[in-house]
Amino acid sequence: MMQYRNFGKLDWKVSALGFGCMRLPTIDGKSSNIDQEKVNEMIHRAIEAGVNYFDTAYAYHDQKSEPALGKALEGGYRENIRIATKSPIWLINESADFDRLLNEQLQRLQTKTVDFYLLHALNRESWAKVQRLSLLQSAEAAKADGRIRYLGFSFHDNLETFKQIVDGYNAWDFCQIQYNYMDIDFQAGTEGLQYAASKDLGVVVMESLRGGKLAAEIPSSRPLWDSAPHKRKPVDWALQWLWNQPEVSVALSGMGTLAQVEENIASANAARIGSLSMDEIALIDKVREVIKSLSPIPCTRCEYCMPCPNGVNIPQNFDTYNQAAMYNDLPGSRFAYKTFIADSARAANCIQCEECLSKCPQQIPISTWMPVVEEVLGLNHPFVESV
């Protein structure tokens, strides 16, 4: 039976499993060409099993995710669930854009109200934009007229910025963070999770499986999983680790097949706070360390090397490169390099000025590594493990 959890201070229970609509099945591999028939089958099955939180965004699937979810919820399904979607802050240039985009999203979703509305991907810069354009006041007006029920934000920056945003507005209802057993010190991390929960915010976890990487059979971790008395698949270990923590309100999974829906439902039915033994938690800690030990570049993301005078995001380039080795996934890292790192921030812009070398506590030869990162991730070359 589906398990339900507290959602911050709200008088409402959310299913342990949330349905993320960023990786829906497509036709011919084209992101915008969603297979609506399969989507309907998956979403209807999830609702039947008790999933009541569905997360999408304006930009997902080249702006086709919201319409696909709206179509899937026709025929009475909308009444039994809550919709979460996000305001694309990067497209807002004046306050009026907030209302225009929200109204467009309501039409796409075929609904009069968005239950959970998030300011999408807040960081230091976009939070300043939110304040400059008085977008919180726009959101409050939308709550007052019924187009939004609850307001929150999704987040991608460091812990300090996360706390500033949490404390910067006293009417947040919830937040959404990247969190999994590999990312306990990344972005908001465990401390941010606990901080938000201490403020009575519902906490939605995204990247529960790190884009599917933690659901895969990672060769380095297989012997450790096999050593556990209680056998689980990697995906179940990752999800149960999240649900073990009371601060996690709901864990999103971007499911792309009916089989994944069924597998995740089975995991969610077994979700319990405090269900993992100390030995099992220690085992997951060991898996984390084994995977991290495969990183060719010993970058800790301390950011002492930043800012780069040439605009290179040194930690992000190194992290993307390291993930190819950690998760045995070179294609995934090449995709992330070209998709999630801005052209101006890629390793290719390093001119070997060596200003960063004296700043790195790990004494990484940054200017030597940067051409390697560009060669491996920017071009079709074999993976290079050392320099």
Q: DSSP states of 360-375 as a string?
A: -TT---HHHHHHHHII
Q: Are 97 and 119 in contact (CB under 8 A)?
A: no
pLDDT of residue 303: 85
pLDDT in tens, 266-315: 999 999 999 999 999 999 999 999 999 999 999 988 888 999 999 999 99
Alpha-helix residue ranges (DSSP H) falling in 170-276:
189-198, 222-226, 234-243, 258-269
Q: Residue 38 corresponds to which tokens in the numbers above?
A: 């399969």
Reported for 22-28, long-range contacts at CB under 8 A and 24+ positions apart, including other chains, are: 22/55, 22/56, 22/57, 22/60, 22/61, 22/65, 22/254, 23/212, 23/254, 23/255, 23/256, 24/61, 24/65, 24/68, 24/256, 25/256, 25/257, 26/61
Ranges of the chain with pLDDT below 70: 380-387
**Chosen CATH of 4-284 out of 3.90.1150.10, 3.20.20.100, 3.40.50.300, 3.30.450.40:** 3.20.20.100
Per-domain boundaries in the chain: 4-284, 294-387
